[in-house]
């Protein structure tokens, strides 16, 4: 069930209404039922996979806890628990890898042998990926690792744990929650609070605005240019690449707003996934602001464990002694950085574009690390004031451009297409008037202006938030006419200017209802 | 007393070397929570702390409470030194 559907809105309204009607001690049970009902709307067979993960990880957690509680030796318990943890990891990531990446691997293995004229054609799996598997698998394994590390005791109730894994607002696109942050909230009794309902609803509205007015509108142009990239000139290509960066951000963050807004209406606070990533002044900072629940997961369960391992310490000592300087010191961080960002790339999907996107990010970050002292000397030599607005703007634009190129690699039809588009986008010559060139990419003048205005609203809101002002409380503090003007403007723009599906035209919707 | 002061000074020196000198690190108590030092800085600081005080800092020690302030880091190192004697 898509969030952008009448069915979902009705489902959500019913769930929230009944949620506050049922006896408080059964609220979590009711949520569990609602979450599974939501999940079933995707197909019965998907239930098998989410149940498998839920049960194996729950049992693994309890088993590890029992061994810890009953063992006299901490070291011995840890050794056994490591095997249990590895078992859970292999099973659940194994399933994810198989379902998500087997076909990609099979096709590429066939191509590889084809280079040597061997005919190797592996059978392909014909199955739709279970809903949210990339998210709930990571969420479950994060829990397992936390229990292994004694961060908290294992959950003793299977239904409660099942709710943590299947909680419906976050099942489609995260955020990837941590058990100590979300678990207790799901168990608590939630009393109706007007502010939760209104702020949650406003956040959802903002999410719909971003998705339907900005993302889906930009998507029309992006789809057209990316699928027929050879026909477009440099400027058109550049515009499409930039709009893709805007589309994906508005789409993903809009979806997260819908998710968090829905959860807030039930008094549940889900972690935020975005912190104005396009205001980052370096690629490393960008990844501390984009899809934060995934990057934090990677940091805590991949990056830190590798960099703090004994082997890493040995590499660090060797580097400091034999290479010295910045590189000698940073050496132990290079490989974990490379692994982390390559995994982040791969997490996005089975395709060379995603793999190269991961490699691209890791190279940019590692090179940035290596050249830190060089950049520092340059800045001193050129008397650049790092704290100045000009330098900050330069950092933002530079980082945005680097990410636009990276995202083009992940979005383009193929790697050659991506490189062709990036190359072409550097020069903005073309035939015909500027107006004609801009309006022949799938969006007419009116839609382009609307997109620009809506994006402008998004940027202004982001600037306000970056300054530390929380928008919903700020608007709530204004006089009634001002508040309602803002809310109605949002609602009306979604209804009139929202893009409803491919091939849709804004004007059509208004007439369809008559 | 003298030994603790030296440890504290050394910790501050390591933080300044890796995370820059433009903050008053001595009076910070939310370095990790407020993201004043990033993951790369943390890793570099840990590496230097481990070398300087001859302790093993593992991923299990990687909780914000152990690195949010100079005091926290000092407590961590003292505990590890006692445990790893």
Q: What confidence score (pLDDT) does residue A383 get? A: 86
DSSP H or E stretch at residue A483 = helix A480-497
Do A216 and A498 contact (CB within 8 A), yes or no? yes
**Per residue in B1-40, pLDDT tens?**
455 568 899 999 999 988 888 788 888 889 888 888 888 8
Q: What confidence score (pLDDT) does residue A329 get? A: 81
Give chain A positions within 8 Å (CB) of B60. Answer: 149-150
What is the chain A residue with the closest CA to B52?
A317
Q: What confidence score (pLDDT) does residue A509 get? A: 36
**Per residue in A53-89, pLDDT tens?**
999 999 999 999 999 999 988 889 999 999 999 999 9
Residues 6+ apart with CB under 8 A from A419: none
How distant is the Cα of A470 from the closest Cα of chain B, in angstroms? 18
Both tokens of residue A212? Answer: 């339907």
Q: Which of B17, B23, B37, B40 should we substitute to test contact with A (largest number of A Cβ atoms within 10 Å)?
A: B40
Q: What confidence score (pLDDT) does residue A379 get? A: 86
Q: What confidence score (pLDDT) does residue A501 get? A: 61
pTM of the shown model: 0.92
Both tokens of residue B81? Answer: 């030194």
What is the spatial distance between Cα A423 and Cα A232, in angstroms, rounded to a whole number?
Answer: 13
Q: Which 3 state secondary structure label does DSSP give A287? A: coil
Size of interface A-B (CB pairs under 8 A): 42
Both tokens of residue A74? Answer: 């901490």
Is any Cβ of chain A less than 8 angstroms from the Cβ of B62? Answer: yes
Q: Do A329 and B57 touch (CB under 8 A)?
A: no
Do A430 and A236 contact (CB within 8 A), yes or no? yes
Q: How is A253-271 classified by DSSP, letter by letter? A: HHHHHHHHHHHHHTT--PP
SS3 string, A134-181, reads HHHHHHHHHHHHHHHCCCCCCCCCHHHHHHHHHCHHHHCCCCCCCHHH
What is the chain B residue with the closest CA to A316?
B47
Q: Do B60 and A149 touch (CB under 8 A)?
A: yes
Q: Do B62 and A304 touch (CB under 8 A)?
A: yes
Is any Cβ of chain A less than 8 angstroms from the Cβ of B40? Answer: yes
Q: Do B44 and A329 touch (CB under 8 A)?
A: yes
Both tokens of residue A208? Answer: 């719909």
Q: Which of B17, B23, B36, B59 should we substitute to test contact with A (largest number of A Cβ atoms within 10 Å)?
A: B59
Q: Is A410 left (phi over 0), alpha (psi -120 to 50) or beta?
A: alpha
State ipTM. 0.87
What is the chain A residue with the closest CA to B42?
A304
Give chain B positions within 8 Å (CB) of A332. Answer: 43, 47
Give the residue ranges of chain A where pLDDT is below 70. Answer: 501-514
Q: Do B44 and A330 touch (CB under 8 A)?
A: yes
What is the spatial distance between Cα A390 and Cα A387, in angstroms, rounded to a whole number?
Answer: 9
Chain A residues in contact with chain B using a Cβ-Cβ cutoff of 8 Å? 149-150, 284, 288, 299-300, 303-305, 307-310, 313, 316-317, 320, 329-330, 332-333, 337, 369
Identify the DSSP state of A442: S
Do B57 and B80 contact (CB within 8 A), yes or no? yes
Is any Cβ of chain A less than 8 angstroms from the Cβ of B81? Answer: no
Q: What confidence score (pLDDT) does residue A507 get? A: 38
| Secondary-structure percent of chain A, ordered helix, strand, coil, rounded to 5 | 75, 0, 25
What is the spatial distance between Cα A269 and Cα A31, in angstroms, rounded to a whole number?
Answer: 15
Q: Is A118 left (phi over 0), alpha (psi -120 to 50) or beta?
A: beta
Residue of B38, B43, B60 lying closest to A307 (CB–CB): B43
Do A31 and A167 contact (CB within 8 A), yes or no? yes
**Residue B54 pLDDT > 50, yes or no?**
yes
Both tokens of residue A44? Answer: 């019965």
Length of chain A: 514
Identify the DSSP state of A131: T
Give chain A positions within 8 Å (CB) of B80. Answer: none
Residue of B35, B38, B46 lying closest to A308 (CB–CB): B46
Residue with tokens 């009711």: A30
Confidence of residue B59 (pLDDT cuts 50, 70, 90): confident
């Amino acid at each position: 069930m898509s969030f952008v559907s009448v069915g979902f809105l009705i489902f959500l309204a019913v769930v929230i209404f009944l949620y506050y009607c049922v006896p408080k001690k059964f609220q979590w049970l009711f949520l569990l039922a609602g979450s599974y009902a939501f999940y079933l709307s995707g197909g019965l067979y998907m239930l098998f996979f989410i149940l498998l993960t839920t049960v194996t990880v729950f049992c693994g957690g309890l088993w590890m806890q029992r061994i810890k509680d009953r063992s006299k030796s901490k070291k011995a318990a840890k050794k056994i628990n490591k095997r249990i943890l590895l078992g859970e990891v292999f099973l659940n990531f194994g399933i994810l890898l198989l379902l998500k990446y087997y076909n990609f691997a099979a096709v590429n293995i066939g191509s590889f042998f084809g280079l040597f004229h061997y005919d190797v054609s592996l059978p392909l799996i014909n199955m739709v990926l279970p809903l949210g598997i990339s998210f709930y698998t990571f969420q479950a394994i994060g829990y397992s690792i936390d229990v292994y590390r004694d961060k908290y005791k294992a959950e003793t109730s299977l239904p409660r744990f099942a709710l943590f894994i299947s909680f419906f607002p976050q099942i489609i696109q995260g955020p990837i929650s941590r058990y100590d942050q979300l678990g207790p909230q799901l168990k608590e009794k939630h009393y109706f609070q007007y502010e939760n309902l209104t702020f949650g609803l406003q956040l959802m509205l903002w999410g719909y605005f971003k998705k339907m007015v900005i993302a889906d509108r930009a998507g029309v142009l992006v789809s057209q240019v990316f699928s027929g990239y050879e026909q477009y000139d440099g400027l058109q290509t550049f515009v499409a690449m930039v709009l893709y960066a805007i589309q994906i951000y508005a789409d993903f963050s809009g979806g997260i707003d819908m998710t968090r807004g829905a959860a807030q209406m039930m008094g549940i606070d889900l972690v935020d996934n975005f912190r104005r990533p396009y205001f980052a002044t370096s690629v490393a900072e960008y990844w501390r602001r984009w899809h934060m629940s995934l990057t934090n997961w990677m940091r805590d369960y991949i990056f830190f464990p590798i960099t703090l391992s004994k082997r890493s310490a040995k590499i660090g000592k060797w580097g400091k002694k034999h290479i010295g300087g910045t590189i000698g010191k940073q050496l132990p961080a290079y490989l974990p950085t490379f692994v982390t960002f390559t995994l982040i790339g791969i997490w996005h999907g089975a395709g060379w574009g995603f793999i190269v996107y991961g490699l691209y990010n890791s190279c940019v970050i590692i090179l940035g690390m290596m050249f830190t002292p060089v950049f520092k000397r340059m800045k001193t030599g050129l008397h650049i004031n790092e704290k100045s607005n000009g330098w900050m703007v330069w950092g933002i634009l530079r980082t945005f451009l680097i990410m636009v190129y990276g995202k083009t690699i992940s979005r383009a039809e193929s790697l050659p297409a991506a490189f062709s588009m990036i190359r072409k986008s550097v020069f903005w010559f073309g035939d015909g008037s500027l107006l004609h060139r801009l309006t022949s990419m799938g969006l007419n003048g009116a839609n382009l202006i609307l997109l620009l205005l809506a994006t402008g609203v998004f940027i202004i809101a982001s600037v306000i938030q970056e300054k530390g002002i929380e928008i919903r409380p700020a608007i709530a503090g204004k006089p009634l006419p001002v508040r309602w003007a803002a809310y109605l403007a949002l609602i009306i723009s979604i209804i009139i200017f929202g893009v409803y599906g491919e091939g849709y035209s804004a004007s059509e919707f208004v007439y369809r209802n008559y | 007393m003298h030994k603790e002061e030296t440890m504290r000074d050394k910790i501050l020196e390591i933080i300044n070397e890796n995370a820059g000198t433009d903050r008053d690190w001595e009076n910070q108590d939310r370095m990790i929570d407020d993201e004043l030092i990033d993951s790369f800085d943390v890793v570099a600081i840990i590496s230097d702390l481990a070398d300087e005080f001859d302790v093993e800092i593992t991923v299990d020690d990687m909780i914000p409470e152990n690195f949010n302030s100079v005091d926290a880091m000092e407590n961590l190192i003292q505990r590890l030194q006692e445990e790893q004697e």
